[in-house]
Amino acid sequence: MTARWRGAALFAAVALLVLAVAPAALDPFRLGLLAKYLCFAIAALGIGLAWGQGGMLTLGQGVFFGLGGYSMAMYLKLHDAGPGNLPDFMVWSGVEELPALWKPFSNPVFAIAAAVLVPALAATLLGLLVFRRRVRGAYFAILGQALAAAFVIWLVGRQGLTGGTNGLTHFYDVFGRDPEDDGSKRLFYFVVALVLGALYLLARQLVKSRFGRLLVAVRDGEDRVRFLGYDPATVKTIAFAVSAAMAGIAGALYVPVVGIISPSLLGVVPSIELVVAVAIGGRFSLAGAVLGGVLLNWAHTSFSEQYPSGWVYLQGLMFVLVIMLLPGGIAGAVQRVGGMLARRSGPAGEAAGERKEVAAQ
């Protein structure tokens, strides 16, 4: 079986597990948790594209996640309030007129488009500003952290506009569905799973394309690519914008699944946790990034139930062990083991073939 067919078979097996086995085996509560993990996996997929393939260590992915999440939440709050009425938190904050920023989000099409395009546009502007000045490495990572911190400060300080520290929550109608209904939770899960699958295939196709090879070349030798006549800043900006759009989609899906979007989900720490998840899963593999996004958040939920204060230490320990022992993450370790098995079976297979030819003669 060729590598292409093995990859297709593995993707089909995972799709069967996610779309058939998990919904049948898990109760609505656990299925909702898995849907939340898949939302983070979408954001991790974007980091895998930007960091793993493009070498851009983005520590501000929470900003783009938040832009997508707040875009969706603003529409849902306006829909719950009804035409001409203010969302409940604005009434409590003493706001008398709907802010101009909110008015376009009464249209669901605009809100969905904004959840994707606003993060992509913000990343494009930031990328053009930063990459053309050849900012990279630790400087780019620190810039991402500063952006995430500033975004959270702005959100917290705008109680009447964004809900402040509490964020936006308590959605009673999500596109005609009751978010607390078990059937709705199953529907949201399938939507998230299908979107993740589609984005994974899109990212994989992008990586295998000529653009993907150029992106890896920029990661491995930006100056050499520039010497050959290409513009590394444009290549990195495109990849960064696609990564941000994926984070925005993840945030938009997270809101109906979990029922809240708040600054605590968007700051420096959540952004770093996404990077840690990608590192554990394997940053050079898109599948590894998705796996890390699911596994780390599952471990967070499971371990926090028993040892709430110990999760931070366990997470740090896992990150250190992976960097020291498995620099390629889980996916890298699996690939190495698979390569070793293939090399061991190779000579045996060739010898068997030679024996068959001798016997035939």
> pLDDT category, 356, cuts 50, 70, 90?
very low
> pLDDT category, 347, cuts 50, 70, 90?
low
| pLDDT of 350 strictly over 60 | no
Comparing C-alpha atoms, which of 194, 193, 205 is closest to residue 286? Answer: 205
Q: Assess contact for 240 and 54: CB atoms under 8 A.
A: yes
- Alpha carbon distance 341, 6 (integer Å): 15
| pLDDT of 1 strictly over 60 | no
Query: Which of these ranges, 70-84, 208-222, 314-328, has the smallest mean pLDDT?
Result: 314-328
* The pLDDT of residue 50: 95
Burial of 28 (0-12, 13-18, 19+ CB in 10 A): middle
- Alpha carbon distance 192, 39 (integer Å): 7
**Per-residue pLDDT tens over the stretch 112-158:** 999 999 999 999 999 999 999 998 888 999 999 999 999 999 999 88
Q: What is the mean pLDDT of residues 288-294?
A: 94
* The pLDDT of residue 275: 94
- Alpha carbon distance 147, 141 (integer Å): 10
* The pLDDT of residue 341: 76
- Alpha carbon distance 60, 62 (integer Å): 5
The proportion of the chain whose per-residue pLDDT surpasses 90, expressed as a percent, equals: 68
Phi, psi of 261 (to 5 degrees): -140, 125
* The pLDDT of residue 2: 66
Q: Assess contact for 24 and 190: CB atoms under 8 A.
A: no
How many CB atoms are located within 10 Å of the residue 341 CB?
10
Comparing C-alpha atoms, which of 132, 316, 119, 87 is closest to residue 226? Answer: 132
* The pLDDT of residue 42: 97
**Per-residue pLDDT tens over the stretch 220-252:** 999 999 998 899 999 999 999 999 999 999 999
Q: What is the mean pLDDT of residues 73-98?
A: 91
- Alpha carbon distance 273, 188 (integer Å): 24
| pLDDT of 59 strictly over 70 | yes
| pLDDT of 351 strictly over 90 | no
Comparing C-alpha atoms, which of 73, 45, 43, 48 is closest to residue 61? Answer: 43
Q: What is the mean pLDDT of residues 165-169?
A: 92
| pLDDT of 361 strictly over 60 | no
Per-residue HEC secondary structure of 137-174 comes to CHHHHHHHHHHHHHHHHHHHCCHHHHCHHHCEECCCCE
> pLDDT category, 354, cuts 50, 70, 90?
very low
Q: Assess contact for 43 and 271: CB atoms under 8 A.
A: no
> pLDDT category, 3, cuts 50, 70, 90?
low
**Per-residue pLDDT tens over the stretch 5-31:** 777 888 889 999 999 999 999 999 999
Residues facing residue 169 across a β-bridge? 260
**Per-residue pLDDT tens over the stretch 74-84:** 999 999 998 98
Q: What is the mean pLDDT of residues 292-320?
A: 85
- Alpha carbon distance 44, 331 (integer Å): 14
- Mean model confidence pLDDT for the chain: 89
* The pLDDT of residue 254: 97
Query: Which of these ranges, 87-96, 120-129, 207-216, 228-237, has the smallest mean pLDDT?
Result: 87-96
Query: Which of these ranges, 211-220, 271-280, 302-311, has the smallest mean pLDDT?
Result: 302-311
| pLDDT of 108 strictly over 60 | yes
